[in-house]
Amino acid sequence: RRRLQAHLAAIEARARAAGMDYRLLVTDQPLDATLQAYLSLRKAVAA
């Protein structure tokens, strides 16, 4: 578990360093709802 957390943290750090957003998704939530929430957040930040 510790190795997985370290791996995910490294991926997040590299994404942010490249100027990209990073969101860890869980598979028990519908993708369309998760994507809609993310896009709404991005729209609010851009406004």
Q: What is the pLDDT of residue 47?
A: 75
What is the rounded distance in angstroms from the CA atom of residue 2 to the CA atom of residue 40? Answer: 32
Every domain of the chain and the residues it spans? 22-47
Full pLDDT tens readout for the chain, 47 residues: 999 999 999 999 999 999 999 999 999 999 999 999 999 999 998 87
DSSP letters, 1-47, are -HHHHHHHHHHHHHHHHTT-------TTS-HHHHHHHHHHHHHHHH-
Q: What is the pLDDT of residue 46?
A: 84
